[in-house]
């Protein structure tokens, strides 16, 4: 038999990725964490982590153990609540993968609200325009442009959102007027780098405006946004970003817009893990509470 107390050390190292950080969370020395992990690996006769210059990464065996260890942690917290009649404070790290714009411009602004309710849960926000695997535990929660068609994932709709065509007021004042879609052929545009787009949902211009003259491209939404603000050209901007910026003006708002949906995804093994469930509830409430922000006026 293994010592199931060692699972606490396994869980914290899997979340932190580094011995020193795991030790600090557990209030022990890093050598203690290393010793307990070694003991657990010996008892189970498997290697649970691969060590690299970047830290500790779960092996396939570690990935298989992880959901069982988390179920034991959740049951232990529930036992404490039921038997002792006290609330066990939720703690640990939850990694959330989101599209860049949503993560940086909406979720990050509201993290203090979550921290007031759950001070012991640390959110790691990976706000990038690339897919991350929940099955490989690259993230605990993901917000996606589409609902998955396969895999052991639980998914639900968070909200609809809209992008419109915007330009800076300075740009629009010094370039030909725009009264109809055909007038856009006289203008410059900002967009993504076509061959570096991993997600087909980001190919906005393919289904809206044909044969645009793109003069600046970036994989980074913030870079595109700043380029549009500086008058480099027109571009599609999320309404939740543009509404906060008086220097931007919508162009052909009734004729050019893109509507999409954000979906929350979580692996079914994590769905009932308390800290993950707390973050899921936070994201669901946050993105469902203000449709006007997400869809524009």
pLDDT at 179: 93
Greater confidence (296 vs 188) lies with: 188
- Dihedral sign for Cα 35, 68, 281, 108, please: positive
pLDDT higher than threshold 70 for residue 206: no
C-alpha 17/C-alpha 138 separation (Å) is 12
Which residue carries 């093994």 as its tokens? Answer: 269
Share the mean pLDDT of the chain: 86
Q: Which CATH code for domain 161-258?
A: 3.40.190.10
pLDDT at 32: 93
pLDDT higher than threshold 80 for residue 230: yes
Angle of helix 6-16 relative to helix 60-84, nearest 10 degrees? 120
Q: Which CATH code for domain 92-159+261-295?
A: 3.40.190.10
For the ranges 63-67, 200-204, 266-270, the lowest mean pLDDT is seen at 200-204
C-alpha 18/C-alpha 34 separation (Å) is 10
Instruction: Tell me the mean pLDDT in the region 254-276.
Output: 88
Question: Which pTM was predicted?
Answer: 0.72
pLDDT at 256: 87
Kindly indicate the confidence band of residue 106, based on its pLDDT and cuts at 50, 70 and 90: very high
pLDDT at 250: 94
Cβ neighbours for 35, distance < 8 A, ≥ 6 positions apart: none
Confirm if 197 and 242 have CB atoms less than 8 A apart. Answer: no
Span(s) in the chain for CATH 3.40.190.10: 92-159+261-295, 161-258
pLDDT at 182: 87
Greater confidence (54 vs 123) lies with: 123
- CATH classification (class only), 6-84: mainly alpha
- Report phi then psi at 39, rounded to 5: -65, -40
pLDDT at 132: 78
């Amino acid at each position: 038999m293994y010592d199931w107390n060692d699972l606490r050390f396994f869980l914290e190292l899997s979340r932190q990725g580094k011995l020193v950080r795991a030790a600090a969370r557990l209030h022990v020395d890093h050598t203690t964490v290393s010793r307990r992990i070694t003991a657990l690996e010996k008892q189970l006769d498997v290697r649970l982590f691969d060590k690299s210059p970047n830290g500790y990464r779960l092996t396939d065996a570690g990935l298989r153990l992880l959901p069982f260890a988390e179920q034991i942690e959740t049951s232990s917290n529930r036992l404490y609540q039921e038997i002792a009649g006290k609330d066990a404070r939720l703690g640990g790290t939850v990694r959330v993968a989101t599209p860049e714009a949503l993560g940086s411009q909406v979720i990050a602004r509201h993290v203090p609200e979550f921290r007031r309710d759950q001070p012991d849960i640390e959110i790691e926000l990976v706000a990038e325009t690339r897919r991350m695997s929940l099955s490989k535990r690259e993230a605990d929660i993901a917000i996606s442009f589409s609902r998955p068609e396969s895999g052991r994932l639980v998914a639900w709709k968070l909200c609809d959102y809209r992008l419109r065509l915007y330009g800076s007021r300075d740009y629009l004042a010094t370039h030909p007027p725009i009264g109809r879609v055909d007038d856009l052929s006289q203008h410059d545009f900002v967009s993504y780098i076509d061959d570096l787009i991993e997600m087909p949902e980001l190919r906005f211009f393919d289904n809206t405006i044909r044969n645009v003259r793109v003069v600046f491209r970036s994989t980074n939404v913030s870079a595109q946004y700043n380029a549009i603000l500086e008058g480099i050209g027109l571009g599609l901007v999320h309404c939740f970003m543009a509404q906060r910026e008086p220097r931007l003006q919508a162009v052909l708002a009734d004729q050019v817009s893109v509507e999409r949906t954000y979906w929350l995804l979580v692996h079914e093994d994590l769905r009932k893990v308390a800290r993950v469930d707390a973050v899921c509830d936070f994201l669901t409430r946050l993105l469902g509470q203000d449709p006007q922000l997400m869809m524009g006026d």
